[in-house]
Amino acid sequence: MANKFNSGDNRTRNSVSIFIIAGLCCFFYLLGAWQRSGFGKGDSIALEITKTSTNCNILPNLNFETHHGNEAGIFSDSDSDSKPTVYKPCHKKYTDYTPCQDQRRAMTFSRESMIYRERHCPLQKDKLHCLIPAPKGYVTPFPWPKSRDYVPYANAPYKSLTVEKAIQNWIQYEGNVFRFPGGGTQFPQGADKYIDQLASVIPIANGTVRTALDTGCGVASWGAYLWKRNVIAMSFAPRDSHEAQVQFALERGVPAVIGVLGTVKIPYPSSAFDMAHCSRCLIPWGVNDGLYMKEVDRVLRPGGYWVLSGPPINWKINYKAWQRPMEELQEEQRKIEEVAKLLCWEKKSEKGEIAIWQKSMDTDSCRSAQENSGAEFCKSEDADNVWYKKMEQCITPNNNNANSDLKPFPERLYAVPPRIASGSISGVSVEAYLEDNKQWKKHVNAYRKINKIIDSGRYRNIMDMNAGLGGFAAALQSPKLWVMNVVPTIAKKNTLGVVYERGLIGIYHDWYIYSNI
C-alpha cells in the first residue's frame, strides 16, 4: 500500500486484509475470473502486468480469460489442463515476515517523519519465492461475532500488549485465547460507551456516517464496535514494538492495514470518509503547518467529522497525568485549532478529552476564506492520484460533484454514486453502473448456491482483487462479512471513489511491483 500500507504483500494466512480466498476460490481465478460485463477486466490488467513487469515471475499457465461465460460453478475442460506451479514452504522463521514492512530492513531508514515506519519493499534479489507458513498450531478463527471478542492464542502468539495495556482493557490472555474487552487507552469503560459519547454529537445512527478512518487504531476496538451501528471503519497502525496490533484486528475480523502517517499520501481517494478518528494515536497533528491534518482533510467529505481524543485536549486538567509541560500542550492545541480554522472545520464539541470538528459543507465560502488567508491550494487536477505520492503543504480543493446528493446508508449502496451521476468517471454512464449491479447480483446469487455458508459468519474478511465499481461487495452485503475492495494502480479507470460513495471500503494497491523505496 502506498509507501506505508501492505495489504497485498503480506503472509498467506489470515493477514493484512485477508480474506478467504479459501472457500471462495471457485469464484475467482486469481485476477482473471471476473464478469464479462462491467469493470472486472482482470484480463487487460494481466496483459499490462505481463508487458511491463519482466521480473515479477508471472506463472505462464495462468488463464486470465473470464470464466463467467460458463454456468456458475462449471468450468470448461481447458481449465483443468494446466498444471499448477507448486511453491515450497518458507522456513518457519518467516512466519511473521511482511515483505514491505520487514523490521530489520526498516531500521536502516531515517527516523525523520516516521519514514522508517513506512512501506519499503525488498529488492528483486531479496524477494522470497516460497509460501509463508502460519504459526505453529494455527486454527480457523472464530466466526463473527465471537471473533470480535476472542482470538485463538496460536493465531497471533504475542503477549506484550496484555502486559503493557493491562489496565486499559485492550486485550487479556485467558488460557488458549486472547479476549478483547472492547477497551482502549481513551475508553477504558469500553468502546460502546465511548461511541455513545461521539453519537451525542455525530449523526451515527441515521446512516449519514457510514465510512470511518481510524488513524493509529491499536487492536481496532473502535472499528469493531462501530460495525453493529452500521459504520465500517478502515483502521491502520504501524508495525512496531507491539508486533501484531493489526494482526490482532484482522484475526478479530476487523478491517485494518499496516500503515502510518509519514511522508506519503494514504492510499484512499479524496472525499472518501464520513468520519476520521484519532484516539491518543500519537500523531503530531500541529507540526509542519498541519501537514497531516491537510491529508485528513483530503480524504474527509464535506460535512464529515474529525474526532481527536487524548492529548492535547483538556490539557489544563491532564498535563500532570500526561507528564508533559502545560505550555507545550497549550501550544500543541493552539496549532491544531489554527489549522482546523484554515481548513474550515467548525468545532462542534469539546468535552472532557474528546474534541469533534465538522468539515464545512459550504465549499465556495470556505474557498473564499482560505484564499483571503493566503492558503496554498494543491495544483494537481486529480486528488485521487495518490500512489507513492508525497504529501504536500497545500489544501486539496473540494470536488463539489463528488459529494452532491450523497444518500444515507443503506440507500447509498445502490443509489447512483455522485461521481458517476456527474460524469467524473470517464466512460462510465449511469446505465453502465446499473447494468454492472445487475450482473453482480446474478453472479453472487450463483456463488451463494455453490457455497452455502457464505453468510454464516465463517467467512468474515473477503477481498475483491479488482473491485471495479464495487458491485461484488454490494451484492454480497451482509452484517456478518465485509469486503476489501482493491483498485489496482494500473486499472484504466480509477473507481475507488465510487466504491466509497456506495458506503463500502477499499484501497489502492499494486499487486506486482516491489519498489526499492
Strand (E) positions, 181-272?
Answer: 211-215, 232-237, 256-258
Determine the 3-state secondary structure of 185 from DSSP: coil
**Helix H or strand E segment including 419:** helix 418-421
Judge contact between 258 and 238, C-beta under 8 A: yes
C-alpha–C-alpha distance, residues 256 and 246, integer Å = 6
Cβ contacts of 391-397, under 8 Å, gap ≥ 24:
391/263, 391/264, 391/265, 391/291, 391/292, 391/294, 391/295, 392/294, 393/288, 393/289, 393/291, 393/294, 394/294, 395/294, 395/297, 395/342, 395/343, 395/370, 396/270, 396/294, 396/297, 396/298, 397/367
b (16+ CB within 10 A) / e for 191-206: beebbebbeeebebee
- Residue 213 per-residue DSSP state: E
Residues lower than pLDDT 50 in the chain: 1-75, 514-517
What lies within 8 Å, CB to CB, of 277 at 6+ separation is: 212, 213, 214, 215, 222, 233, 306, 307
Which pLDDT tens digit goes with each residue over 404-462? Answer: 679 999 999 999 999 999 998 999 999 999 999 999 999 999 999 999 999 888 899 99
Question: What is the reported pTM?
Answer: 0.83
How far is residue 154 from each of residues 138, 157, 241, 248, measured CA to CA in Å? 5, 5, 19, 11
C-alpha–C-alpha distance, residues 392 and 504, integer Å = 27
The grid coordinates of residue 428 equal 462510465
Amino acid of residue 517: I
202 closest CA partner among 349, 71, 345: 349
Determine the 3-state secondary structure of 235 from DSSP: strand
Q: What is the pLDDT of residue 78?
A: 53
Which pLDDT tens digit goes with each residue over 258-281? Answer: 998 988 999 999 999 999 999 999
The grid coordinates of residue 89 equal 514452504
- Cα 355 from chain centroid (whole Å): 24
Q: What is the pLDDT of residue 436?
A: 97
Q: What is the pLDDT of residue 58?
A: 40
How much of the chain exceeds pLDDT 90, in percent?
56
